């Protein structure tokens, strides 16, 4: 296992830590050939053995499915991309890294997990792909990885948390349900237990019957208005809260469908257009249901610009735009190169990890090639239900949810709506909102706020 001892200043204090790249083999569930997980760990070294044994461990992963953990790794690890505080980042080398004074490494040891097929992690050549590529399968394998890491490092007494971003919400939710509670059916013990979970840009799953196009359009509207205001396309024209307007006026109008009177439709389109900075006729042409994708193309059309879906503060020229959901998105296409371009050099030169293989930052073929969504081709249920079971089974289990104001992919109102669909102990579920897009660790102010919230959350443990 390669590694290096370094120091970083966090919160005014200089701490010492060891960063290392390692690997752990996970079976296919029946002791057959499985997967080799490659991970990066950061362990604080300027504490006693007794202190380390009880320090929390935060296991972090991103989404996709098909994404490595490079985004969280170089966003919240002790080293971060230097250009993450600007809306016009460097997109070609050289890419620089700087010490991250906002890393939560001062309060918890960090383990960044790359699922099989991402990063340097790979399935065994003889492994059954279907035993890993699915909501349930992936969650069980990741829990097995955590259990093996805990035993290898003798951290059985350390509080354990998981942090997932985007699809990582599904992984963290299913892991939380599988991990917590008594013996499973058949008398077998659970693979490992968790003290809590953190999810960012939560993709709870919008394929539910309750998520009609009318409800979804109303929930997404406040984020579109927030974006329009950021770009100066619209002003605060009236005092009424936009979220309240969407819930009490827009949603009933959408639900009325063809029964909505023409005069009401015209008046509503005019008010929506003022808030969005768009002509009322454009709103009418979209039947009062402007999707985030449509709005991203229309908002700055006169300026010849497109908005980013993952962070609507980012823009790119509309001319010549392609259709790739990552490289052609004005946000992902802007900040992805610095993360993907910096990681291999960093792991080799600073942590001493040598590999002839390619570090796969993201590979959506894992999802597009067939992901088992609990027996379906697409998500059919809201995964927050898994969290409610975890909260019920362990009365000390807590959940933190972080959402960005400029995230057109997983909007704030959609998350807030999800929380009204389930009954749970609300004192143990903490919703945080950041002035960011899908990734709240991009930007000095949201990253600092996120780091403080993570620290406060980890210190809450009972």
Residue 238 banded pLDDT, cuts 50, 70, 90: low
Backbone angles phi, psi at 365, to 5 degrees: -65, -25
pLDDT value of position 205: 64
Per-residue model confidence (pLDDT) at position 421: 81
Q: What is the DSSP letter of 379?
A: -
Q: Which helix (H) or strand (E) holds 222?
A: helix 213-230
Question: What gap in Å lies between CA 30 and CA 132, rounded to an integer?
Answer: 12
Q: How does residue 211 score in pLDDT terms, banded at 50, 70 and 90?
A: very low
Q: Are 409 and 293 in contact (CB under 8 A)?
A: no
CB atoms within 10 A of CB 78: 23
**Res. 182 pLDDT band, cuts 50 70 90:** low
Secondary element (H or E) of residue 282: helix 280-285
Q: Is the pLDDT of residue 451 over 70?
A: yes
Does 152 have pLDDT greater than 70? yes
The CA distance from 417 to 428, in Å, is 17
Q: Is the pLDDT of residue 74 over 90?
A: yes
- Give Cα separations from 415 to 384, 407, 430, 432 (angstroms): 10, 11, 12, 11
Residue 416 phi, psi dihedral angles, 5° rounding? -60, -40
Q: Give the single-character DSSP code of 104.
A: G
Determine the 3-state secondary structure of 137 from DSSP.
helix
**Contact call for residues 21 and 40 (beta carbons, < 8 A):** yes
Half-sphere exposure of 318 (CA within 13 A, CB side): 14
Task: Say if CB 70 and CB 62 are below 8 A apart.
Answer: yes
Report whether the peptide linkage leading into residue 65 is cis, meaning its omega lies within 30 degrees of zero: yes
User: What's the DSSP call for residue 317?
Assistant: E
**pLDDT, tens only, 361-410:** 988 776 666 788 887 777 777 888 899 999 988 889 999 999 999 999 99
Q: What is d(CA 370, CA 375) in angstroms, rounded to the nearest whole number?
A: 11
List the domains of the chain with CATH numbers: 2-207+333-458 (3.40.50.1820), 213-325 (no CATH)
Identify the residue with better confidence: 375 or 93: 93
pLDDT(28) > 80: no
Length of the chain: 462
Give the 3-state secondary structure of residue 293: helix
Alpha-carbon span 315 to 94, nearest angstrom: 23
The yes-or-no verdict on residue 237 having pLDDT over 60 is no
Q: Are 52 and 154 in contact (CB under 8 A)?
A: no
CA-based nearest residue to 457, from 204, 201, 199, 202: 199
CA distance 256 to 127: 52
| Residue bearing the bigger pLDDT, 22 or 377 | 22
Q: How confident is the model over 249-257, as a mean pLDDT?
A: 90
Average pLDDT value over all residues in the chain: 88
pLDDT of residue 367: 60
Between CA 26 and CA 34 the distance in angstroms is: 6
In sequence order, what are the residues at sequence separation of 6 or more whose Cβ sits closer than 8 angstroms to the Cβ of residue 348? 354, 355
pLDDT score recorded for residue 271: 92
The DSSP annotation for 223-243 comes to HHHHHHHHTTSS---S-S-HH
360, 148 in Cβ contact below 8 A?
no
Collapsing DSSP to helix, strand or coil, 320 comes out as coil
Average pLDDT over residues 293-321: 90
With a cut of 90, say whether residue 161 has pLDDT above it: yes
């Amino acid at each position: 296992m390669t590694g290096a001892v370094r120091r970083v200043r966090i919160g005014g204090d200089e701490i010492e830590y060891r960063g290392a790249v390692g690997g752990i083999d996970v079976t296919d569930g029946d002791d057959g050939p499985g997967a080799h997980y490659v991970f990066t760990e950061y362990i604080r070294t300027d504490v006693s053995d007794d202190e380390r044994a009880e320090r929390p461990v935060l296991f972090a992963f991103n989404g996709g499915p098909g994404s490595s953990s490079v985004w969280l790794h170089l966003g919240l690890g002790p080293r971060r991309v230097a250009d993450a505080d600007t809306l016009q980042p460097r997109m070609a080398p050289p890419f620089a890294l700087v010490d991250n004074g906002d890393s939560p490494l001062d309060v918890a040891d960090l383990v960044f997990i790359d699922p099989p097929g991402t990063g340097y992690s790979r399935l065994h050549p003889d492994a059954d792909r279907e035993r890993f590529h699915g909501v349930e399968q992936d969650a069980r394998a990741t829990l097995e990885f955590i259990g093996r890491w805990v035993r290898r490092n003798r951290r059985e007494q350390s509080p354990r948390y998981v942090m997932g971003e985007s699809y990582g919400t599904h992984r963290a939710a299913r892991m939380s349900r599988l991990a917590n509670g008594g013996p499973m059916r058949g008398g077998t013990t659970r693979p490992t237990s968790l003290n809590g979970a953190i999810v960012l840009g939560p993709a709870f799953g919008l394929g539910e019957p309750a998520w009609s196009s009318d409800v979804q359009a109303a929930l997404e509207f406040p984020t579109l208005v927030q974006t329009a205001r950021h770009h100066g396309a619209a002003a605060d024209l009236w005092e009424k809260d936009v979220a309240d307007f969407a819930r009490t006026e827009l949603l009933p109008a959408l639900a009325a469908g063809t029964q909505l009177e023409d005069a009401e439709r015209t008046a509503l389109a005019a008010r929506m257009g003022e808030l969005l900075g768009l002509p009322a006729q454009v709103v009418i042409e979209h039947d009062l249901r402007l999707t985030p994708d449509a709005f991203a193309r229309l908002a700055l059309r006169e300026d010849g610009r497109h908005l980013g879906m993952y962070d609507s503060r980012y823009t790119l020229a509309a001319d010549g735009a392609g259709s790739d959901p990552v490289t052609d998105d004005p946000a992902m296409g802007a900040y992805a190169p610095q993360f993907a371009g910096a990681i291999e050099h960093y792991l080799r030169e600073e942590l001493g990890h040598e590999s002839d293989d390619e570090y796969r930052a993201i590979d959506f073929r894992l999802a597009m090639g067939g992901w088992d969504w609990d027996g379906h081709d697409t998500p059919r249920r809201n995964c927050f239900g898994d969290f409610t079971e975890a909260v019920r089974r362990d009365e000390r289990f807590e959940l933190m949810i972080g959402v960005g104001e400029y995230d057109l992919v997983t909007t704030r109102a959609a998350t807030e709506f999800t929380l009204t669909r389930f009954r749970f102990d609300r004192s143990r579920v903490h919703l945080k909102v950041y002035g960011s897009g899908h990734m709240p660790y991009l930007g000095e102010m949201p990253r600092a706020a996120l780091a403080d919230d993570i620290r406060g959350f980890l210190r809450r443990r009972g």
